[in-house]
Amino acid sequence: MSANYSAHKEFEITLLQRIASSERFKIYQDAFRTATGLPLRLVSADPDNWCLDDQAINRSPFCEALNLCNSACGACLETNRRLMQEAEVNGPTTCHCFAGLCATAVPIKMGASVIGFLKTGQVFSQTPTEEQFTVLLGAIGRKTLSQNARSALKTAYMQTRFVEPQRYQSMVTLLESFGEQLSEHADSLTIIEEGSEPAAIAKARKYIHENLDQPLPLGQVARQAGLSESHFCRLFKDSAGLTLTDYVNRCRIDWAKRELLKPEARISEIAFLVGYQSLSQFNRSFVRIVGTSPTLYRRDRLERAAS
């Protein structure tokens, strides 16, 4: 990943951190955990950086035990990567992991950009049984575990909570509603602190993310920031590490990468959807930023998802 691309992502990472530390999020997190008995986390949009955090409230002891098994840990990480990738494209998504536990991801957006996910789950949709555990143990690899480890894993498995599907969906609906609120009010939850990014640039970034599908000439964006064009150019480059044109292109290509995971969407339609005025312009930008064509990117990602 280039230094410029890292600079482009830093804004979204900082935004997510400010949301996670906001009073509104903490109050809802506590209320959701108390009312539903489910864990709730706010995680990065980067599926390769997924991991368990240090907040064990309502988290399944069975999940904790599984993540101590190398063979199971890899499968768990892959399940969460796929879950987040699907939620990024299709919106709130629920799936079952290889062990049968529910997992749900609700995307949080800033304009067209997904900056993170609300995640919950770690419960069964039916009562766990001895037979199911035996099958699971075979999948993990019985010989890779000591007798004590198998015993501890079985105890945690049999004690794992189950929630009826209809009730679980009601819990997810609550989470979707809160996810929409966080997306709508991301700007108000991320007050610019003294010494961090200038408020004018934060305002410009917000405007860019909310209008990616529209033309974004320099003069128009500078006016939104309340700055002259020359002053805005210098300040934006210093803060974002990119020119306005490069930043807008990278935001649009990030959006396009999600749309390309929808097999039914035509590439020409995606190009215009994300704000490009021509297919050739879109193709050139995509190759320059991603390193491959939209067609090859889509083929590779869909093949990997199907494998």
Q: Looking at the structure, do residues 54 and 128 belong to the same domain, yes or no?
A: yes
Instruction: State which of 184, 218, 234 marks the end of a domain.
Output: 184
Residues near 203 by Cβ (< 8 Å), separated by ≥ 6? 224, 225, 226
Q: Looking at the structure, do residues 38 and 119 belong to the same domain, yes or no?
A: yes
What is the average pLDDT across 105-134?
87
Q: pLDDT band at 193, cuts 50/70/90? A: very low
Asked whether residue 108 is assigned to any structural domain, the reply reads yes
Tell me the pLDDT tens digit for each residue of 237-287. Answer: 888 788 999 999 998 998 898 888 888 899 999 999 999 999 999 999 999
Domain count, the chain: 2
Q: Looking at the structure, do residues 170 and 260 belong to the same domain, yes or no?
A: no
Asked whether residue 140 is assigned to any structural domain, the reply reads yes
Expressed as residue numbers, the domain containing 301 is 199-306
Q: Looking at the structure, do residues 25 and 80 belong to the same domain, yes or no?
A: yes
CB 133, CB 158: distance < 8 Å:
yes
φ and ψ of 229, to 5 deg: -60, -45
Q: Looking at the structure, do residues 176 and 221 belong to the same domain, yes or no?
A: no
- Identify the pLDDT of residue 135: 87
Asked whether residue 193 is assigned to any structural domain, the reply reads no
Q: Looking at the structure, do residues 215 and 106 belong to the same domain, yes or no?
A: no
Q: Looking at the structure, do residues 102 and 204 belong to the same domain, yes or no?
A: no
CATH number of the domain encompassing residue 246: 1.10.10.60
- Maximum pairwise Cα distance, the chain: 70
Alpha-carbon distance 108 to 126, whole Å?
Answer: 29
Asked whether residue 194 is assigned to any structural domain, the reply reads no
Q: Looking at the structure, do residues 70 and 44 belong to the same domain, yes or no?
A: yes
Asked whether residue 190 is assigned to any structural domain, the reply reads no
Q: Looking at the structure, do residues 94 and 60 belong to the same domain, yes or no?
A: yes
- Identify the pLDDT of residue 287: 94
Q: Looking at the structure, do residues 110 and 218 belong to the same domain, yes or no?
A: no
Query: In the predicted model, is pLDDT for residue 153 greater than 70?
Result: yes
- Identify the pLDDT of residue 191: 42
Instruction: State which of 141, 160, 184 marks the end of a domain.
Output: 184
Instruction: State which of 154, 184, 214 marks the end of a domain.
Output: 184
Q: Looking at the structure, do residues 171 and 236 belong to the same domain, yes or no?
A: no
Q: pLDDT band at 76, cuts 50/70/90? A: confident
Alpha-carbon distance 208 to 304, whole Å?
Answer: 32
Residue with the larger pLDDT of the pair 74 and 177: 177
Which residue is associated with the tokens 């959807």? 273
- Identify the pLDDT of residue 68: 59
Asked whether residue 129 is assigned to any structural domain, the reply reads yes
- Identify the pLDDT of residue 166: 92
Alpha-carbon distance 68 to 169, whole Å?
Answer: 29
Q: pLDDT band at 70, cuts 50/70/90? A: low
Asked whether residue 277 is assigned to any structural domain, the reply reads yes
Alpha-carbon distance 124 to 101, whole Å?
Answer: 5
Alpha-carbon distance 281 to 289, whole Å?
Answer: 12
Cβ-count burial 189-216 (b if 16+ within 10 Å, e if not): bbeeeeeebeebbbbbbbbbbebbeeeb
Cα–Cα distance list, 74 to 51, 162, 171 (Å): 11, 24, 28
Q: Looking at the structure, do residues 39 and 62 belong to the same domain, yes or no?
A: yes
- Identify the pLDDT of residue 254: 86
Asked whether residue 192 is assigned to any structural domain, the reply reads no
Tell me the pLDDT tens digit for each residue of 9-35. Answer: 676 777 788 888 888 888 899 999 999
Of 98-112, 158-172, 179-193, 227-241, the poorest mean pLDDT is in: 179-193
Residue with the larger pLDDT of the pair 40 and 72: 40
